[in-house]
Amino acid sequence: MSDNKIPYKIYLTEDEMPKAWYNLRADMKNKPAPLLNPGTHQPLTAEELSPIFCEELVQQELDDTTPFIEIPEEIRNFYKMYRPSPLVRAYCLEEKLGTPAKIYYKFEGNNTSGSHKLNSAIAQAYYAKKQGLKGVTTETGAGQWGTALSMACSYFDLDCKVYMVKVSYEQKPFRREVMRTYGATVTPSPSETTEVGRKILAAHPGTTGSLGCAISEAVEVATKNPGYRYVLGSVLNQVLLHQSVIGLETKAAMDKYGIKPDIIIGCAGGGSNLGGLIAPFMGEKLRGEADYRIIAVEPASCPSFTRGTFSYDFCDTGMICPLAKMYTLGSDFIPSANHAGGLRFHGMSSTLSQLYHDGYMEATSVEQTSVFEAAEMFARVEGILPAPESSHAIRAAIDEAMKCKETGEEKTIVFGLTGTGYFDLVAYQKYNDGEMSDYIPSDAEIAESIAKLPKVD
C-alpha cells in the first residue's frame, strides 16, 4: 500500500525539532491591527497589558517584526515528552476514498490533554514561572484548554485556577477530574468566589453559566490576587506564535521526504491550530517563495470567516477584554445549543483575519452531521477517534480528495488533526443514535449581533 517509501508516520528526531517559534507577523506587509483599550480605543501598551499577562508574553503579543523567537530549553524539554508529533500519511483513508490525492495529517492528539493546546499552555506556564508568579487563572468550556493548562502548571509547580462553565462542570466530570488529578482547582462558574460571580448568581440564581462569565471571574481573580496572571488558549498572537511548532515540524517532515503540499487545511475556532499549522507555509507565500491553497474550515453554526464582518470587537462575551480587529459574528453571538462540534468562538485571530482579508487564504463552512460522518469514516479507517473540532478539517480534506478523484489530479493535501475525541462521546452518542441535527443561523440573527459591535473609528 505504501508509496515511494514514505512511511505511515514521519517522525522527526529530537535534534530536528524546531529551536525557535516562527512569528508569521514579521512577514506580513499588512500587520494585524493592534489590540485596543476598550475605554479609550487607543492601542494597548505593554504597561497596560502587563497586569493581565506575563511580561515576556506581552512582548510576544506586541512583537510583529522579529521572525524567529527562541524556544527556551525548558519548554523544548517538555515538548520532547510528547513531541515531535507524527505527520501521518493517510494511506488507508486514500484507499477507502479511491482518490489519487495524497493525504497527510499532523496529529497533535498524542498527549493527555488530547490536543495541540498543550503547545501554548506549557509556554505560558513557563513564562509565568520565570517571572516568579504564584499561579495563573483561566476559563474553560469543554475543558480541553483547562486540561492542557493544568498539566503545564503541574510541571512547573504553579497554582492553576480554572473557572469551568457550570453546565460543563456538571456534564463533563471526566475533564474536570483530569484537571484535579493535575492539581488544578476547578470551580464551576458562576461561583461565590468572585464579585462578578456573586453578582450574576444573585441576578440569575439558576444559571448554568457561560464562557463570558467564566472569563470575567478568571480575570477578576488574576487581577485581584498578587502573583497571578490570566492566560488564554487561542485567538492571541502569542498563542499563534507558540503553535507555529506544529507547522514548523510539518514542514520539516515534508522537506525531509521532498513532499510539497498543494492544499493545507485546518479547522478554525479562535485560530490557534490553523495559525500554527500554516505559519511557515504562509511565510513562504507572503515572501513570494511558494504558493499554497490554504483553507480554514469552520462550523456552519458559527461561521465567523464566511459570514462575519471584519471589524473591532470584544474577545469575550462579557465585553471586559481588549478590542481586537477580526472577523466576527459579534461578541453577543452564541452558537445554537444543538451545536456539539466545538469551535464556538464568535471571532477569529487578528492575524488570520488580516490574512484572510488580504486574500492569502480561503474559508469554508461545514455542517456538523457531515462533520461527524467524516469523523466516523476516519476513525474506522485510520484508527484514531478524532475530536469534533479536528473533524471539520477531515471533512474538508475528504471533500478536496473527492474532487481529485473526479479530475484525476494527484494533489497533496495536508490537514491538522488537532486532537482526539475521547471526551466528546456524548456528541458521538448523539450522532450514533441519529439524534444530531444541523443549525445554520439566519441572516437576521447574525445581523442582530453584528449591529451591537462597538463603534471604533
Q: Is 423 in the site for its own copies (CB under 8 A)?
A: yes
Is 335 in contact with 368 (CB distance < 8 Å)? no
How deeply is 320 buried, as exposed, middle or buried, from its count of CB atoms within 10 A (0-12, 13-18, 19+)? middle
In whole angstroms, how far apart are CA 305 and each of 121, 160, 276?
26, 33, 17
Bridge partner residues of 420 (DSSP): 386
Q: Is 309 in the site for its own copies (CB under 8 A)?
A: no
Work out which of 7, 42, 70, 440 binds its own copies, going by CB under 8 A.
7
Q: Is 249 in the site for its own copies (CB under 8 A)?
A: no
Is 396 in contact with 375 (CB distance < 8 Å)? no
Q: Is 310 in the site for its own copies (CB under 8 A)?
A: no
- In our burial notation (b when 16+ CB lie closer than 10 A, e otherwise), range 6-45 reads beeebebeeeebbeebbbbbbbbeeebbbbbebeeeeebe
Among 219, 168, 165, residue whose Cα is nearest residue 189: 165
In the bound state with its own copies, the residue whose beta carbon lies nearer, of 111 and 138, is 111
Q: State which of positions 206-235 bind its own copies (CB under 8 A).
A: none
Segment near its own copies (CB under 8 A); pick from 136-144, 322-330, 391-399, 424-432:
424-432
Rounded distance between C-alpha atoms, residue 272 and residue 237, angstroms: 9
In the bound state with its own copies, the residue whose beta carbon lies nearer, of 78 and 333, is 78
Among 427, 243, 445, residue whose Cα is nearest residue 349: 243
In the bound state with its own copies, the residue whose beta carbon lies nearer, of 51 and 173, is 173
Work out which of 4, 13, 40, 442 binds its own copies, going by CB under 8 A.
13
Supply the Cα-derived Rg of the chain in whole angstroms: 21
Work out which of 178, 232, 267, 297 binds its own copies, going by CB under 8 A.
178
- Binding string, residues 80-119; x marks residues near its own copies by CB under 8 A: xxx-----x--xx-----------------xxx-x-----
Q: Is 409 in the site for its own copies (CB under 8 A)?
A: no
What count of residues does the chain have?
Answer: 457
CB of 99 to its own copies, least distance (A): 18
Q: Is 180 in the site for its own copies (CB under 8 A)?
A: yes
Work out which of 45, 66, 171, 429 binds its own copies, going by CB under 8 A.
429
In the bound state with its own copies, the residue whose beta carbon lies nearer, of 179 and 214, is 179
In whole angstroms, how far apart are CA 312 and each of 165, 300, 309, 349, 406?
26, 22, 9, 12, 42
User: Residues touching its own copies: how many (CB under 8 A)?
Assistant: 46
> What sections of 226-382 are H helices per DSSP?
237-256, 272-286, 304-307, 350-357, 368-382
Q: Is 252 in the site for its own copies (CB under 8 A)?
A: no
CB of 118 to its own copies, least distance (A): 8
How deeply is 179 buried, as exposed, middle or buried, from its count of CB atoms within 10 A (0-12, 13-18, 19+)? buried
Segment near its own copies (CB under 8 A); pick from 25-33, 179-187, 238-246, 440-448:
179-187
Strands, E, within 193-349: which ranges? 228-230, 263-267, 293-299, 309-314, 323-328
Give one word for 229, left, alpha or beta, with left for phi > 0 and alpha for psi -120 to 50: beta
CB of 170 to its own copies, least distance (A): 13
C-alpha 83 chain-centroid distance: 18
DSSP assignment letter at 225:
S
Work out which of 55, 63, 64, 376 binds its own copies, going by CB under 8 A.
376
In the bound state with its own copies, the residue whose beta carbon lies nearer, of 45 and 432, is 432
In the bound state with its own copies, the residue whose beta carbon lies nearer, of 45 and 112, is 112
- Binding string, residues 129-158; x marks residues near its own copies by CB under 8 A: ----------------------x--xx---
> Which positions touch its own copies (CB under 8 A)?
1-2, 7-9, 11, 13-14, 77-78, 80-82, 88, 91-92, 110-112, 114, 151, 154-155, 173-174, 177-178, 180-183, 376, 379-385, 420, 422-423, 425, 428-429, 432
